[in-house]
Amino acid sequence: MNKDDYGEFDSLDELHEECGVFGIYDISGNDIASTIYYGLFALQHRGQESCGIAVSDTEGPAGNVKSHKGMGLINEVYDAGVLDKLKGNIGVGHVRYSTAGASNRYNIQPLVLNYLKGTLMLAHNGNLINAPRLRSELARTGAIFQTTIDTEVIAYLIARERLNTGSVEQAVIEAMKRLEGAYSLVISSPRKLIGARDPFGFRPLCIGKRDNAYILASETCALDAVGAEFVRDVLPGEVVVLNEKGIVSYTSMCGRDTKKCIFEYIYFARPDSYFDGISIYNSRIMAGRILAQMHPAEADIVVGVPDSGNAAAMGFAQESHIPYGVAFIKNSYVGRTFIKPKQAARESSVKIKLNVLKEVVKGKRVVMVDDSIVRGTTSERIVRMLKNAGATEVHVRISSPPFLYPCYFGTDVPSCDQLIAHNNTVGQICKMIGADSLGYLDGERLCELIGGDKGYCDACFSGNYPVKPPKDDIRGEYEK
C-alpha cells in the first residue's frame, strides 16, 4: 500500500511492519507449497505489498529450486495451478511491505542465491542499519546486486562466509557478527532449514512441528493455521538448524540485553499470537486497563477502532465498568489495489474502510480507543464520523505513547516532521483531531504489557535507540 504503483490509498494513516516469514522442512518428503501458502495467509497482516514462495526437494538434485513471486496479496498471486507446480519438501515464504528498498518486483522475497557451495533460499524480517556500508564493501570486492533490499546483503555475506566455514549454519553465525539492526531470518539450504534471530530479538520468530515436519514462522498464528504445534521461540541471538536430527541450537551470539519491539504487542501482531510466552491479546487488554486508570472519562460506551484497538477498548471497559460496544463496521475487502482516481475522493477513503453504526453511538458520550496517532489525519476523520453519527462527546484514548521519533528496525514510523506529536502538545493534538479529550499510554508503564519485562525497544516513543541510528534515513520511500 501507499505506493504510486497502486494509487493513493492512505491505509487509514496506518503504520506497517516490514514483513512476515515462514519456512518448512517435511522430512517425510511431502510437498509443502500449500502449507507455506496457508502460513503466509495467516501472516498477511505483516505485509500486503508482495509475496513469494520458493521450494526445493531434499532428495532431488541440489540447486533445483522452484519459486513464484508477485506483487499483491497471497490470494492474488497464487492459485491451485501455481501451487501444484511448486513441488518440494523444503521451502521458504515471505510477505512484504517495503521499508528499505523500493516497491518493485526485483525486491520480492524470498531471495534465491546460487553460489559456489550450492543454493540458498532466504527470507528476512527486519531492517539493517549498516546495510549501505556493507553493500559498499561487498560491491568493491566484486558483488553485483540485483535488488535494493538489505536482505541481499545478508545473503551475500552468508555465501562468502560459507567459502571459509564447514557448514551453512556456521556461515550464518559468522555473517551475524557483521550485521547491525533487526533481522529474523528463515534460510533453506538443499538439506537444512535454518532460523536466526538478531541478538536484540527485535522481531519475533518461532518453531513449530507438525507430524514429521519442522516449521519456522514470524508468529504462532501461522502455526495454528497449518495445524502445527508450537515448540518454542527462537532466542534472541540464536541460530537453529531443523533437519532429520531434530533441532540443533547455536547460542554463541546470545546473551545481549534483549530489545523486543514493543509495538509488536501494541499493534503489529495478530491478537491470537504469542511472542516469547506473552499473549498479544492480554497485552492489549492490559493497555486498555492502564488507559482507564490514567485517563478515565465520564462516558456511556467504549468502542475500539478495528482491529488492534478492539482488545484495548475491552480492557478499558473492564477497568472503567463502562459498557463495551461495537461502533465500527470494517470492510475487509478493501485490498491494496484500491485506487482513488480523483482528489475529491480522498475524504471518502476512511468511510470506504470503516463505517459507524449510528444506533450504537447516537446521543452517547463515547470513549474511542485506537492503537496510535501518526499524522492525525485519520483520527480527525474518525472522530468526525462518530460525531456526525450522533455521538455527543468523543474521548480518544491511545494504547501507545506519542510517536516522537522514527524507527530504523523494520517499522515505517516516518521522520519527525511527519509525526503530529513531535511538534504538538497533547492538548493541541486533541484540538486538531476534534476530540473532547485525549489520553496516551504512559511510556513508564509499557513494561506492564509484557509482564514487567524491561527488555523491549521503545525508541519510536523515547528516542532511546538500542544501537546508534544511521545519520541518513535508509528506510526507503513512504509517500504516506
- Tell me whether strands 239-243 and 192-197 are parallel, antiparallel or unpaired: antiparallel
Q: How far apart are CA 475 and CA 480, in angstroms?
A: 14
C-alpha dist (Å) from residue 455 to 54, 69, 278, 394, 447: 34, 36, 13, 35, 8
Single-letter code of the amino acid located at 358 = K
DSSP-assigned beta bridge partners for residue 397: 369, 439
Amino acid type, 134: L
Helix (H, G, I), strand (E, B) or coil at 194: strand
Query: Residue 458 contacts by C-beta under 8 Å, 6 or more apart in sequence?
Result: 262, 401, 443, 446, 464
d(CA 283, CA 477): 31
- Measured between alpha carbons, how far is residue 309 from residues 304, 317, 416, 461 in Å? 5, 12, 24, 18
Cα–Cα distance measured from residue 228 to residue 442, given in angstroms and rounded to the nearest whole number: 37
Confirm if 100 and 474 have CB atoms less than 8 A apart: yes
Active-site residues, by number, are 19
Name the residue among 126, 107, 111 with its Cα closest to residue 50.
107
Q: H helices of 267-343, where?
A: 280-294, 308-320
Q: What angle do CA 150, 156, 162 make, to 5 degrees?
A: 140
Counted residue by residue, the chain has a size of 480
